[in-house]
Amino acid sequence: MRNRVASFLLVLVSAFILAAHPSGAQSKELPKPFDLIQWNGGKFIYGVDYYPEHWNEAQWESDAKMMQAAGINFVRLAEFAWVKMEPVEGKFDFAWLDRALKVLNAHGIKAVLGTPTGSPPAWLYAKYPDIAAMDENGVRYRYGSRRNYCLHSPNFIAATQRIVTAMAEHYRNHPGVLGWQTDNELGDPLCYDAYCRAAFHKWCRAQYKSLTALNKAWGTIFWGHTYLTWSEIPLPWNTLGKAHNPSLALDHRRFHSAATHDYLKLQVDILRKIAPTQAITHNDMGMYDGVDYSVLNEPLDFVAWDNYPMFGGDYSNYFGVGLAHDLMRGSKDNQSFMVMEQQGGLPGWSIFWGRQAAPGLFRAWSYQGVAHGADGICYFRWRTSRYGTEQYWQGILDQDSYANARYQIVSQTGKELAQLTELLHGSKIVAPVALLVSPDSRWAFHIQPLVKDFDYNRQLGLYYAAFRRAGINADVVFPQSDLSGYKIIVAPSLFVVDKPLVEKLAAFVKNGGTLVLSYRTGVKDEHNVVTDQTLPGPLAEMAGIAIHDFDPQTNQEQELVDVEGERHPARVWFDVLTPTTAQVLATYGKGYYAGQAAITINNFGNGAVVYVGTELASAASSSKLINFLAQGKISVGPSLPEGLEFAVREKQGKQIFFLINYTEKAQTVTLDRGYQNALTGETEPAEVQLPAFDVRVLTTP
């Protein structure tokens, strides 16, 4: 009898435990490869960045209700609440966050918690002044703002370990906590204090093993900068004319990127050990290049990023936003990712930064993320702050909580994404072409920007936009990526190259790929030292050209004449190409080198290398080139009017088409036939009418 009572009690107790942990999340392994929708219990992640600590506790319940009504099932919490969680060194208070989670969870809303290290408390700076970073003039940042700590300060590392450990221990079994965001937008600032200098010396030792090797690699004989002891090596701080050795400066960027990775990893290791069933991410910044995201994101379960398409008031750069999504996806093997901060209103700090976006654009931008592979959208922020620096940075709601037009459109989008979840789940972006991003080249161009008007990201953007105008999905790859599946790879201004990359590109072309290179390619070796080979250096043979002259653009106009006699404006830089085995596609139209080659194509193995010696200044020109290269190799999308994007996700042979109109006028696209509208289930006519700012999701049967 006693045994029967005991087992009855056991059943009751375990039933209670199950009820208390309805998701059973604690016993579950993390999905591999990471699947965001599965992680969120089968729901498309639809969320807001919420700061319960900024509002009266009495408001939490009505907030959660309003969120739930808008289809919100996810929040990010606490990433700036260090002082509230550790008000005094070593004393923790999570009671307020527990209560906030309880309210949110009761409305079906789960959370990721931000480790709050992006904004350390004032008491920490007061007690340990050396946690503040030092600028290049040797001045420590003073308290205020955020993100101004030194990555190598032992006091800051200890404080990080303490708060991350305490949070992980408190929340590791919380059924409403899905996982973690480490810090916030890691990257800046570069710190020039003694800790960082010593760490740089250690990094240099690990890279070069001997000072002889370092001196040789950096060419320190120039200006007699040869180092006899490691401790003599300076940081590239603000010297006269900022004239530091470019090799030292590039290694310093690499070092900072690696140190940022190590700091993130320090947090990841603590979280993994204590809370192994909770997933970990970080909020990256798209095209930001202070760190190499393809390395930074390696310890994470999935990538998340912060997307503000209207930065500076410009709505028109929707292809630039698409490129950022694709770079983020590419930074972790094209796995599914999420947007952790999606623009939810008009940005601004002390002033508003632009025009207000039409409500429909907020929906269009969310769909753009989905069309580029995002399986989660989280808006920054739920409600505009009443306090602090971001009083003018709008959330979905304004301070008065009125259910405004942004709230209405966010609610509509939430309902639609819930309806599309089954279709989207497991679908992927498949791209026949890729843009190669070289973090080393980007840094080297920061160190020596070439000419005033050079912009590496603009080079990427112009080819990327040409693909998108042709309705072709594009991936972003990095030097260590597998290139074998692509038909065309564009590697614009591939300034810094090492032997493995050259060999990889040669193999890609020999196997039938088309490689597009552009001006200032192959100029530097991996130490940022100029090659002594004829340009484009180690890529000259495969490009079938030699460059014996170039002309940096300074207030001059240039144009190209293609083989059909069509003229194209060009800018920034002009490499004068001498074909060795290549054929000429276009020549220069002006100047002392008029008539000499500007664009060439060379057959190499089973593929071809195109070299563009300049920056094509018009969309028509880059489109003409890309369409010519795609012909017969890649099926292009429908003919698209300006302001309209076409993108495809695929799932077991089924295609999901996204048509997004970013303009304030109605647009029409003609497809090859009628497809099914994924939301209404109806078959649409081949001619699709898209009202202003509208979106259409269509599928093949």
Residue 50 as a binder of ligand GAL (CB under 6 A): the answer is no
| Least distance from ligand GAL to the Cβ atom of residue 603, Å | 47
Rounded to an integer, what distance in angstroms lies between the CA atom of residue 366 and that of residue 343? Answer: 9
* Minimum CB distance to ligand GAL smaller for 187 or for 414: 187
Closest CA to 183 of 57, 32, 76: 76
Secondary structure letter of residue 683 according to DSSP: B
Give helix then strand counts, H and E, for the chain: 19, 27
Binder of ligand GAL out of 130, 193, 341, 559 (CB under 6 A): 341
* SS3 label, residue 686: coil
CA 646 to CA 469: how far, in whole Å? Answer: 8
Residues in CB range of 132: below 8 A, 6 or more apart: 125, 140, 141, 142, 143, 148, 149, 150
Beta strand 676-677 with 695-699 is antiparallel
CA–CA dist 545, 536 (Å, integer): 8
Closest CB to ligand GAL among residues 262, 390: 390
- Residue with smaller CB distance to ligand GAL, 381 or 527: 381
Task: Between 8 and 349, name the residue whose CB sits nearer to ligand GAL.
Answer: 349
Q: Is 341 a catalytic residue?
A: yes
Q: Could you tell me the smallest distance in angstroms from the CB atom of residue 503 to ligand GAL?
A: 39
| Shortest spacing between CB 695 and ligand GAL, in angstroms | 25
Cβ proximity to ligand GAL: between 184 and 596 the closer is 184
Rounded Cα–Cα distance for residues 427 and 433 (Å): 18
- End-to-end, the C-alpha distance of the chain in Å comes to 61
Residues 182-201 that bind ligand GAL (CB under 6 A): 184-185
Looking at beta carbons only, is 81 or 586 nearer to ligand GAL?
81
Greatest Cα-to-Cα distance within the chain, rounded to the nearest angstrom: 105
Q: How far is the CB of 393 from ligand GAL (least distance, A)?
A: 5
Minimum distance, C-beta of residue 49 to ligand GAL, in the bound complex (Å): 8
For 393-435, the DSSP string reads S--SB-TT----HHHHHHHHHHHHHHHHHHHHTT-B---SEEE
CA–CA dist 79, 83 (Å, integer): 11
What are residue 557's phi and psi, to 5 degrees? Answer: -105, 140
Interior CA angle at 359 toward 354 and 361, to 5°? 75
Q: Is 60 helix (H, G, I), strand (E, B) or coil?
A: helix
Q: How far apart are CA 182 and CA 690, in angstroms?
A: 40
Check residue 310 and report its DSSP letter. Answer: T
Nearer Cβ to ligand GAL, position 377 or 436?
A: 377
User: With respect to ligand GAL, which residue has the nearer C-beta, 248 or 324?
Assistant: 324
Nearer to ligand GAL, 385 or 404 (CB): 385
Q: Read off the amino acid at residue 622.
A: S
Residues 166-185 that bind ligand GAL (CB under 6 A): 184-185
Nearer to ligand GAL, 379 or 393 (CB): 393
Residues comprising the chain, all counted: 701
In the complex, what is the shortest distance from the CB of residue 8 to ligand GAL, in angstroms, rounded to a whole number? Answer: 52
Which is the catalytic residue, given 79, 341, 416, 615? Answer: 341
Reading the block at residue 390, the tokens are: 């971001």
Least Å distance, CB 515 to ligand GAL, is 35
Q: Which is nearer to ligand GAL, 394 or 427 (CB)?
A: 394
Q: How far does CA 139 lie from the centroid of its chain?
A: 31
Six token digits for residue 349: 């700090």
Dihedral, CA of residue 321, residue 451, residue 200 and residue 527, to nearest 10: 100
For residues 293 and 185, the answer to whether their CB atoms sit within 8 Å is no
| Unique residue bearing structure tokens 């907030």 | 63
Does a cis peptide bond (omega within 30 degrees of 0) precede residue 87? no
**Distance from C-alpha of 446 to C-alpha of 424, rounded to nearest angstrom:** 39
User: Closest distance between ligand GAL and the C-beta of residue 119, in Å?
Assistant: 9
Least distance to ligand GAL from the beta carbon of 397, Å? 15
Beta carbon nearer to ligand GAL, 169 or 390 = 390
Region for 223 from its dihedrals, namely left if φ exceeds 0, alpha if ψ lies in -120 to 50, beta otherwise: left
- Taking the CA of residue 276 as centre, how many other CA atoms within 13 Å lie in the half-sphere pointing to its CB? 4
Structure tokens at 73: 């099932």
The distance of closest approach from Cβ of residue 382 to ligand GAL in the complex, given in angstroms and rounded to an integer, is 13
Cite the DSSP H helix spans in 511-586. 540-543
Mention every residue, 6+ apart, whose C-beta is less than 8 A from residue 56: none
Q: How far is the CB of 62 from ligand GAL (least distance, A)?
A: 24
Q: Could you say which residues in the range 381-410 bind ligand GAL, by CB under 6 A?
A: 390, 393
CB 351 → ligand GAL: shortest distance, Å? 13
Amino acid identity of residue 161, one-letter, is Q
- Applying the rule CB under 6 A, the residues between 594 and 633 that interact with ligand GAL are none
**Of 212 and 389, which has the nearer Cβ to ligand GAL?**
389
How many residues contact ligand GAL, by CB under 6 A? 7
Which of 44, 156, 263, 380 is in the footprint of ligand GAL by CB under 6 A?
Answer: 380
Question: Is 87 within 8 Å of 122 (Cβ atoms)?
Answer: no
Cis peptide before 536 (omega within 30 of 0): yes
Calculate the CA dihedral of residues 516, 522, 524, 530 and round it to 10 degrees.
-150
Residue among 79, 86, 185, 416 flagged as catalytic: 185
**Least Cβ distance, residue 194 to ligand GAL (angstroms):** 29
Residues from 269 through 328 that contact ligand GAL (CB under 6 A): 306
Residue closest to 108 by CA, chosen among 53, 71, 57: 71
Q: Would you tell me which residues interact with ligand GAL (CB under 6 A)?
A: 184-185, 306, 341, 380, 390, 393
Catalytic residues, by residue number, are 185, 341
